[in-house]
Chain A
Amino acid sequence: MTDWSNPEVDDSVNVSRTHPLVDFARLAGGLLGLLIVAMVVLMLLAQTFAKRIPFEVERRVADDIAERFSPTTGPVPAYLQRVADRLVQAQPLPVPMQVRVHWQPEATINAFATLGGHVVVFGGLLRDLPDENTLAMVLAHEIAHVRHRHPIGAAGRQIVIGLGLALLSVGSGSDIVSGALGPAGLVTALAFTREQERQADASGLDMLVAAYGHAGGAADTFRVLERATRDRTQPPAILRSHPLDADRVAAIDAWVRARGFTPDGPRTPLPADVVAAARAVDDASDAPVSPH
């Protein structure tokens, strides 16, 4: 038995030398990267193909929720609708697109466009606008969103994100889906990209000039928004969906020059009863400011 021996040898041949965390990071990182790529591709596809959804279908979905907005009757909504109609008449929307303007008597300094051609203007914004031309720029911007089918594209994008997160069984995924599809989503959650906002600014300016013959009020609109947001801390420009208001003023001026528009002209005042109604809106000093 003394012939046999049992020397010590390397005992680690059966075990991987890779640190388990490195292994984990490589696998999880790869999977996450793949998911992100898939998500971005799906988002772009959703955004592209959402525009192919007929406007009638979009409106049928949106009309159920539109009842939640304030009625379109009364002096202020009727006036807002008249201004919008003037803009649309000057630069018609493709058939069968229609814009319906709602007035939300709240102090919020905001306006937004959502599915089905519904545009909502808040009392706080109307109160701060000096004349009809600036209001027309706001409405032209929102109508441009509708013209370029931005709301349905944003909704499609959001549904894809929500479904993707739901697949990962992250609880918030289904919330985002129902948020984008449900009533609340149509009011608040639709986020446009900065590029879409820029497009809406440019296209809105065209519409304003077509209707009023000059670009007066276009830049003022963003000065009003700038004043309203000046006292608040702003995220840096790159993180914001909307271009900075100062940048938007500069962009408007540049477009006016480039396209040879008349920079200003006679302004139309706001009707007295509209001004009175806007002033009557409760002034909550810390009303949220989120211009759309």
Chain B
Amino acid sequence: MDLIVFVALVVIGFVAGRIAERRHYASIRRREAALRDIQVFATRFPPTLEPRPQRLVAGSVVVSDDYFKRVVAGLQQWIGGRLRSYESLIDRARREAVLRMKAEAQAFGATTIVNVKFQTFAVGGKKNGSLKAVEVLAWGTAIGRA
């Protein structure tokens, strides 16, 4: 009985996770192309020192793993190495956070964001069975047009 539940959870996790990931990547690539003209800089200084309208913009994403990813990661823990199943998840979260930040900048009328930083935060407890999720936060200073 345990085994049937386990297999069902793994299958659900895999199928649902695969579909969600494929759709999300398609959406990410589409919006990245659309927002390509908004440029993102890690440098702390704006390209021009003339006074412009500026504003703090941020994008935040909270993602959770699925059962399949958790099982694969759990198995990987025994031998160590890359947690491949989580890499795509974090990659999606990071790019989505940048896209949301860019969308906010676009609404502000900016084409440049400087001093961009990332931060992650683990959501959920360490206890077994508790929610396992991660927030990826991107923020920076959007520089408006003169």
Chain B residues contacting A6 (CB-CB under 8 Å) are 36-37, 39
Q: In the assembly, what is the distance between CA of A173 and CA of B126, in Å?
A: 29
Find out whether the CB atom of B78 lies under 8 angstroms from the CB atom of A31: yes
* Distance to closest chain A CB from B110 (angstroms): 11
11 pairs, A vs B, C-beta closer than 8 Å = A1-B48, A6-B37, A15-B91, A16-B84, A23-B72, A30-B79, A31-B75, A31-B78, A169-B2, A171-B2, A171-B3
A38, CB-defined interface residue at 8 Å: no
Question: In the assembly, what is the distance between CA of A24 and CA of B71, in Å?
Answer: 8
Interface, chain B (partner A; CB < 8 A): 1-3, 14, 18, 29, 32-33, 36-37, 39, 47-48, 68-69, 71-72, 75-76, 78-79, 82, 84-85, 87-88, 90-91, 94-95, 111-112
**Residue in contact with A1 in the complex, picked from B2, B29, B47, B79, CB distance below 8 Å:** B47
Q: A1-B47, A170-B2, A171-B1 are in contact. Are A27 and B76 (CB under 8 A)?
A: yes
Please measure, in the bound complex, the distance between the C-alpha atom of A170 and the C-alpha atom of B72, giving whole angstroms.
Answer: 19
In the bound complex, how far is the Cα of B5 from the Cα of A226, in angstroms? Answer: 44
C-alpha gap A6/B112 in the complex (Å): 11
Q: Is the CB of B85 within 8 A of A23?
A: yes
Whether B68 contacts A20 by the Cβ 8 Å rule is yes
Asked whether any CB of chain B lies closer than 8 Å to the CB of A28, the reply is yes
From B29, B72, B79, residue with most partner A Cβ within 10 Å: B72
Residues of A in contact (CB 8 Å), total: 20
Contact across chains for A170 and B3 when beta carbons are under 8 A apart: yes
Interface residue A258 (Cβ < 8 Å from any Cβ of B): no
Cβ–Cβ < 8 Å partners of B111 in chain A? 1
Docked-complex contact B75 and A27, CB < 8 angstroms: yes
- A interface list, Cβ under 8 A from B: 1, 4, 6, 8, 11, 14-16, 18, 20-21, 23-24, 27-28, 30-31, 169-171
- Min CB distance, B126 to chain A, in Å? 21
In whole angstroms, what is the CA distance A11 to B36 when docked? 13
Question: Which listed residue, B1, B33, B85, B112, touches A20 by the CB 8 Å rule?
Answer: B85
Given the complex of chains A and B, what is the CA–CA distance between A185 and B18 in angstroms?
Answer: 46
How far is it, in angstroms, between the C-alpha of A260 and the C-alpha of B60 when the chains are bound? 89
Is B112 a contact of A1 with CB atoms below 8 Å? Answer: yes
Which residues of chain A have C-beta atoms less than 8 A from B88's C-beta? 15-16
Is chain A's binding surface mostly helix, strand, loop or mixed?
loop
Smallest distance from the beta carbon of A77 to chain B beta carbons, Å?
Answer: 43
A67 to B112, CA, bound (A): 89
**B68 to A11, Cβ gap below 8 A?**
no
What separation, in Å, do the CA atoms of A169 and B2 have in the docked complex?
8
Q: In the assembly, what is the distance between CA of A6 and CA of B98, in Å?
A: 14
Given known contacts A16-B82, A16-B87, A18-B84, A24 and B72 CB-to-CB distance under 8 angstroms? yes
For B85, list chain A residues within 8 Å (CB). Answer: 20, 23
* A14 to B37 alpha-carbon distance, docked (Å): 23
What distance in Å separates the Cβ of B27 from its nearest Cβ neighbour in chain A? 13
Apart from A31-B75, A170-B2, 11 more pairs, CB < 8 Å: A6-B36, A8-B36, A11-B29, A11-B95, A14-B90, A14-B91, A20-B72, A20-B84, A24-B68, A24-B75, A28-B75
Contacts of A23 in B (CB 8 A): 72, 84-85
| Chain B contacts for A1, CB-based, 8 A | 47-48, 111-112
Contacts of A28 on B, CB cut-off 8 Å? 75
Collect the chain A residues with CB atoms within 8 Å of residue B95's CB.
11
**Chain A residues near B72 (CB-CB < 8 A):** 20, 23-24, 27
CB distance from B78 to the nearest CB of A (A): 7
Q: How far is the CA of A251 from the CA of B36 in the complex (A)?
A: 82
Q: Is the CB of A21 within 8 A of B14?
A: yes
Q: Give Cα A21 to B13, complex, Å.
A: 12
Q: Which residues of B contact A169 (CB under 8 A)?
A: 2
| Contact in complex: A15, B112 (CB < 8 Å) | no
User: Residue among B91, B94, B112 with the most chain A CB within 10 A?
Assistant: B91
Closest to B36 in A: A6
